């Protein structure tokens, strides 16, 4: 299973457009093999942060879903809502896995069986700055939806 967590910076004056955008993506994720766990919008106070969480059974399933971006008319229409309204200023996408789920790489060990990091302090600092692209992606709201 792969779970995607999105953190949106939204325009609070365009919350209605963001809700329309969110409903479109919830339907598309569910329609194309994923499970959308919902969008979470600001409730009180002066916040411009919203969240979304959805999962796919595997990274391969998620990648098949992503192949539709820019091609499938429904995906293009959902992105158009965001683009034309300007309801999303930027978003950040992070991929997660449930604790205890085996990693997919052949040389990766399970997190609960990890050996201590024996690299030098300099090596550990350098590695921590080099996050794999599947973990966190800072993305401008140019294309891609959820």
> What is the predicted pLDDT for the residue at 46?
78
Asked whether 135 and 86 are in contact (CB, 8 A), the reply is: no
Q: Closest Cα to residue 134, out of 95, 91, 92, 90?
A: 95
Higher pLDDT, 130 or 84: 84
The answer to whether residue 109 is domain-embedded is no
pTM across the whole model:
0.67
The answer to whether residue 106 is domain-embedded is no
Q: CA-CA distance, 102 to 112, in Å (whole number)?
A: 10
Q: If you average pLDDT over every residue of the chain, what do you get?
A: 78
> What would the pLDDT profile of 54-92 be if each residue is shown by its tens digit?
999 999 999 999 999 999 999 999 999 999 999 999 999
How many distinct structural domains can be found in the chain?
A: 1
The answer to whether residue 107 is domain-embedded is no
**Residue 22: which CATH number?**
3.30.70.100
The answer to whether residue 108 is domain-embedded is no
The answer to whether residue 105 is domain-embedded is no
The answer to whether residue 23 is domain-embedded is yes
Q: CA-CA distance, 25 to 50, in Å (whole number)?
A: 14
The answer to whether residue 103 is domain-embedded is no
> What is the predicted pLDDT for the residue at 145?
54
């Amino acid at each position: 299973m792969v779970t995607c967590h999105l953190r949106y910076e939204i325009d609070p004056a365009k919350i209605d457009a963001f809700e329309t955008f969110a409903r479109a993506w919830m339907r598309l994720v569910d329609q194309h093999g994923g499970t959308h766990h919902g969008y979470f919008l600001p409730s009180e106070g002066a916040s411009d942060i919203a969240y979304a969480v959805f999962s796919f059974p595997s990274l391969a399933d998620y990648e098949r879903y992503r192949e539709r971006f820019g091609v499938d008319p429904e995906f293009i229409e959902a992105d158009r809502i965001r683009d034309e309204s300007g309801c999303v200023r930027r978003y950040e996408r992070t991929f997660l896995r449930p604790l205890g789920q085996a990693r997919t790489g052949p040389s990766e060990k399970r997190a609960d069986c990890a050996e201590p990091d024996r690299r030098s302090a300099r090596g550990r600092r350098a590695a921590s700055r080099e996050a794999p692209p599947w973990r966190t992606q800072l993305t401008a709201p140019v294309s891609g939806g959820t």
